[in-house]
Amino acid sequence: MALERLQKVLARAGVASRRACEALITAGRVAVDGEIVQTLGTKVDAATQTITVDGKPISLASPVCLMLHKPTSYISSVYDPEGRRTVMALLRGVDERVYPVGRLDYDSTGLLLFSNDGELTHRLLHPSWKVEKVYRVTVLGMPEREVIRKLREGVPLEDGVTQPADVRVLRHHPLESVLEITIREGRNRQVRRMFEAVGYPVKRLKRVRFGPLELGGLPPGRWRWLTREEWDALYQSVGLTPPPYRVPAPPEAVRKRSGHPPYAVAARKRSVR
């Protein structure tokens, strides 16, 4: 019998993040073999016991991961109560139940990762793992050296001083400058707020790397499964043993309609950091 903590099993099943799964348990929404369980740390055998959330059985699907080049004007969530378009509308041909790993705001573009592995998601987003996120930022004007120094050393925001960031100037021009910034925490709209705090509001923001994953030449609005090398590097970057690599076959309806997967971008071998 392989026993695991209940909240870890729920997270692995893609129910929610580990912290959110703990809240579900304490709220009395989780049952094991028909009995409500509210004690954190309860160990279960997912292979032999029936686990339900709000009366619905969980499914321990094999992990999958994909990346999307998010365009502007999409919300990085599964559902938006205001009726705006969400990134899920761009995942045509994905039958797997996956969730965005973190967020890119409505006006930002770039690499957005999706997974059904709750433990992987938890570690990628938890600040203790210091996963690097790299952004290409366009601002009006030409930030001076003192501004760059402040960004590198930490910027005071309403929720505290930011951790040191790596900043590289890609284009320095009086009218419009482009910088690359690497952060290792994930506060809400952090990069935009950092630049606003030093007097240079962001005109365009694009995430080009998340941990070991690089956006590369993936076109806006398109997605692809991770390569095996990317898969292994992603799990290892947060101290996890990579599970068996899997790329789901495209749905039959998509194959008949288009003759190829909807992402249409081959998962080429690429370097990972």
Q: Place 269 in a pLDDT band, splitting at 50, 70 and 90.
A: very low
Tell me: the pLDDT tens digits for 12-27?
A: 787 877 788 999 999 9
The CA-CA-CA angle for residues 18, 70, 271, to 5°, reads 80
- Catalytic residue, candidates 105, 107, 159, 232: 105
Report the pLDDT averaged over residues 55-75.
92
- Residue 252, pLDDT score: 60
Residues 170, 141, 208, 190, CA torsion sign: positive
Q: How many Cβ atoms are within 10 Å of 177's Cβ, its own excluded?
A: 19
Q: What does the DSSP assignment read for 100-169? A: ESS---TT-EEEEEEES-HHHHHHHHSGGG---EEEEEEEES---HHHHHHHHH--EETTEEPPP-EEEE
Residue 262 has pLDDT above 80, yes or no: no
User: Distance (Å, rounded) from C-alpha 252 to C-alpha 246?
Assistant: 18
Is 105 among the residues known to form the active site?
Answer: yes
- Residue 241, pLDDT score: 94
Q: Are strands 202-210 and 109-115 parallel, antiparallel or unpaired?
A: parallel
User: Distance (Å, rounded) from C-alpha 32 to C-alpha 53?
Assistant: 9
Residue 257 has pLDDT above 70, yes or no: no
Highest-pLDDT range among 43-47, 111-115, 268-272 = 111-115
pTM for the whole structure: 0.79
Tell me: the pLDDT tens digits for 74-128?
A: 999 988 999 999 999 999 999 888 999 999 999 999 999 999 888 899 899 999 9
Report the pLDDT averaged over residues 241-267.
63
Domains of the chain: 4-57 (3.10.290.10), 65-126+213-258 (3.30.70.580), 132-210 (3.30.70.1560)
Q: What does the DSSP assignment read for 214-269? A: E-TTPPTT-EEEPPHHHHHHHHHHTT-PPPPP--PPPPHHHHHHHSS-TT------
Residue with tokens 């938006």, as numbered in its chain: 80
